[in-house]
Structure 1
Amino acid sequence: MRIALYNLTTTTKFGGVESFVWDLGRELARRGHAVTIIGGVGKRRELAPGVRVLMFPFIDRYRFQTLPLLRRAYAEAKLLERLSLAIAALPELIAGGYDIIHIQKPYDLGPALLARRLGGARVVLGCHGEDFYPGDTLLAPRIDAAVSCSRFNARTVATRYGFEPTVVFNGIDTNLFRPTAPDPNIVRTDGTPLLLWVGRLQPWKGVDVALHALQEIPRAHLMIVGDGETRADLERLAQELGLAERVHFLGALPRERLPSIYAAADLLLATSFASETFGIGLVEAQACGLPVVASRFGGFPEVIDEGHTGLLVPPRDPTALAAAVRTLLNDPERRRAMADAAPGWAAQFSWSAVADRVEAAYRAACNSKM
């Protein structure tokens, strides 16, 4: 098949959706498909053997939000950003000879459906969150197929659009994310418990919950891998709580470094309380043999085998989080059993399994009536 993976931020940002597109592109190309990644002009261009990458200009959403009427209209500003990309990218979508146009956000429904009408490609909607906007319910029922990153997200989409996407989950590279030697710069010789948090530093990620919980976990240190808009606030909070010497901000790191960091930690913490439909970091950690303590929210319960590869706690509850962490830190045998079970559990999220499900959705789309 000739496949266009169309998503503005694939080439401009780092995140779960962006990694999904790059990794899916690699796997589909490895299987013999002609894959083109289409995104906005940006600096992110990964090694993707056999994948063509096209970048088109767009107008950043923040420029739209300088307009008084759009200052607080987040969804509408993102929609306009996406439409500005479509103006430049539409000729390629129409004349590129694609069998499938796979979009990752409802914002791209209009351009993709127009390209289908004029060029004949089938449209597959990838569902990763709740990026809804006025008018999307008129467009969504016209697509040829939909896939979702979790059952939680599929139910959300079904409530909005009246159809339930096929759950394919997000995938991980199990050749990269697997048990390995710990990072030699992080290895501890004094037995200090080491906790890890990985992700973008956004308000709804709940990193502040992890910091408050750390007050109730004696001696433990917390490594925070990632960057984002709340970093300065979190650094100040660590100071105010008297935790500056026990909290280590490592910034954004290449994915290739993460397995050895997972191997150096005792537990991964995941503290999101909103906008979390899957949990790719949790799967990566488990694939590397690292147990997880996470909030019982969104897609997290689907990616943890509770009691066997990790524990779930109520969202935004530092005391419950601290108690679960202490339980595992005080029981090395149970923690080792979880570590041993985690890679086998995470194997269901390998790209081989995920791509099988995506290909099946593509075939269904091609066989659907237009």
Structure 2
Amino acid sequence: MEILMVTPYCFPEGSGLEAYVHDVADYLVGRGHGIIQVCASKGGTKMNSLGRMAVISFRPHLMVSNTPIRVGLVKEMLAICKKQSPDVIFAHTPVPFFADCAATVSRKTKIPLVLCYHAGTLYKRNVILDTLSFLYAHSLEKKTLHTAKKIIVYNHFLKENTLRAHKEKIVVVGPVVDSSFFSPQEELPGRSVLFAGQLSKAASWKGLSHLLAAIREIPRAHLRIAGDGDLMSHYQEEASRLGIAHRVQFLGSLSREEMPSFYRSGTLLVYTPTTQNDASPFVILESLACGTPVLTIDKGGISSLIRPGIDSVLIDHHGELQAAIRDTLQDRDLMARLRKGALETGYSLGEETGSREVEEVLLNVAHG
């Protein structure tokens, strides 16, 4: 099977979406399928080829929040399809534009489209961006969802809520985590609270400000932050203003190779977004795969990824955050149980089941 895979960016650029695509692509190539990935790259237009996989990245002409836009992309993708004759188009959304161009190409070429939907919502509590998201959801995205033969999601929250109008074409697959890479270790973890995520305006909903405020009220807690972005200096100034700069370590952007050690270095990963954006945050899955418990919030599909009280702590709102962190860190018996549960979860996670389910969907659509 030949696959045209369309993503906003290509790993290691981007976020959890691109990491997911990277792991799925590795599996599919290992199964003998060919992949041409089309994406945006701030590094410029270029093509890289490795065995059965080629990556064609285009420099965006315009950025709207985190959305790359390139004039003439449909024409460029049509030329790729004419030359390579893919059996199926596999596009990833809801980052607008690239997936919508893929849907246009699907309609023009009759090559079937499979869509993978990664977010609980596009709304970020920003009047301008939310207005644009509303207009997009009721125009281009609506047409793209209609074009797709199948829509892949990671949990039932998306099926029953965000995408309920398209339930008949939705396939829920298991999580994809490279458990040979993100793997637990039996030794005792470090004593830090962890946060991983983009430190940008586009990702300000990930809840870091709430976490910094909570850390201020827990004198013995130290926080390690993995991530970079245009708000990094803002968060550093916020830590100084709160009087906790000496207890907060900003590590910057870490490579994929550095992330397992980062997850293993902490007692607890805290991830409490303020919106429903993240349908399946990969930082939670990766942390658990490394055996580190998680403290998170009941937003979007997050609760379906964890076992509260066994490998994680689940809060209902940010008003509970400070007490939840403090009480969890101070309760040695609870931490021991969570650590044991996280290790069990880590050993049970693996990319093969979820990737195999994705492969089955693509094969059925390509040859159906």
Whether TM-score is above 0.5 comes out as yes
The 8 Å contact of residues 100 and 123 in structure 1, kept in 2 or not, is answered as yes
Q: 1:287 aligns with which of 273, 286, 289?
A: 289
SS at match of 2:318: coil
Q: 1:176 aligns with which of 172, 181, 187?
A: 181
SS at match of 1:125: strand
Q: 1:148 aligns with which of 149, 153, 157?
A: 153
Higher normalized strand content (fraction of residues): 2
Paired letter, 1:227: D
The 8 Å contact of residues 137 and 160 in structure 1, kept in 2 or not, is answered as no
Residue number in structure 1 paired with 2:130: none
Query: Using a 3 Å threshold, how does the CA distance of structure 1 residues 113 and 242 change in structure 2: closer, same or farther?
Result: closer
The 8 Å contact of residues 200 and 228 in structure 1, kept in 2 or not, is answered as yes
Deviations 1:151-198 (A, max 9, x none): 222334424546452122441111111123889xxx87xxxx411111
| Residue 194 of structure 1 pairs with residue 192 of structure 2 | yes
SS at match of 2:163: helix
How far did residue 254 of structure 1 move?
A: 0.6
Distance 1:148 1:175 in 2: 23
Query: Using a 3 Å threshold, how does the CA distance of structure 1 residues 150 and 12 change in structure 2: closer, same or farther?
Result: same
The 8 Å contact of residues 279 and 302 in structure 2, kept in 1 or not, is answered as yes
Residue number in structure 1 paired with 2:92: 104
**TM-score relative to the length of structure 1:** 0.84
Percent identity over the alignment is 25
Task: Say what the alpha-carbon RMSD is for the aligned residues.
Answer: 2.8
Deviations 1:115-172 (A, max 9, x none): 3345442210110123561323234223211101332223344245464521224411
SS at match of 1:273: coil
Distance 1:347 1:36 in 2: 32
Residue number in structure 1 paired with 2:127: none
Deviations 1:180-222 (A, max 9, x none): 3889xxx87xxxx411111112310110111111122231100
The 8 Å contact of residues 182 and 264 in structure 1, kept in 2 or not, is answered as no
How far did residue 343 of structure 1 move?
A: 3.8
Query: Using a 3 Å threshold, how does the CA distance of structure 1 residues 289 and 95 change in structure 2: closer, same or farther?
Result: same
Distance 2:63 2:253 in 1: 23
Distance 1:302 1:347 in 2: 18
Distance 1:348 1:157 in 2: 28
**TM-score relative to the length of structure 2:** 0.84
The 8 Å contact of residues 224 and 248 in structure 1, kept in 2 or not, is answered as yes
Paired letter, 1:261: F
Paired letter, 1:286: L
How far did residue 342 of structure 1 move?
A: 1.7
Residue number in structure 2 paired with 1:216: 217
| Residue 90 of structure 1 pairs with residue 78 of structure 2 | yes
Residue number in structure 1 paired with 2:118: 128
Paired letter, 2:268: L
Query: Using a 3 Å threshold, how does the CA distance of structure 1 residues 162 and 30 change in structure 2: closer, same or farther?
Result: closer
Provide structure 2 residue ranges, at least 5 long, that are not aligned to the other structure.
123-132
Instruction: Between the two structures, name the one with larger relative contact order (CA 8 Å, sep ≥ 6).
Output: 2
Paired letter, 1:93: C
Provide structure 1 residue ranges, at least 5 long, that are not aligned to the other structure.
63-73
Paired letter, 1:89: M
SS at match of 2:178: coil
Residue number in structure 2 paired with 1:342: 342
Paired letter, 1:198: A
Counterpart mapping for 1:253-272 below 5 A: 253-272=254-273
Residue number in structure 1 paired with 2:231: 230
How far did residue 346 of structure 1 move?
A: 4.4
Residue number in structure 1 paired with 2:364: 364
Paired letter, 1:2: E
Distance 2:153 2:100 in 1: 19
| Residue 56 of structure 1 pairs with residue 54 of structure 2 | no
Paired letter, 2:240: Q
Paired letter, 2:91: I
Distance 2:36 2:278 in 1: 27
Distance 1:42 1:49 in 2: 24
Deviations 1:254-289 (A, max 9, x none): 121111122221111102111111110011111111
The 8 Å contact of residues 205 and 274 in structure 2, kept in 1 or not, is answered as yes
The ranges of structure 1 where at least 4 consecutive aligned residues each deviate by more than 4 angstroms after the TM superposition are: 44-49, 160-164, 346-349
SS at match of 1:177: coil
Query: Using a 3 Å threshold, how does the CA distance of structure 1 residues 48 and 325 change in structure 2: closer, same or farther?
Result: farther
Count of residue pairs brought into register by the alignment: 345
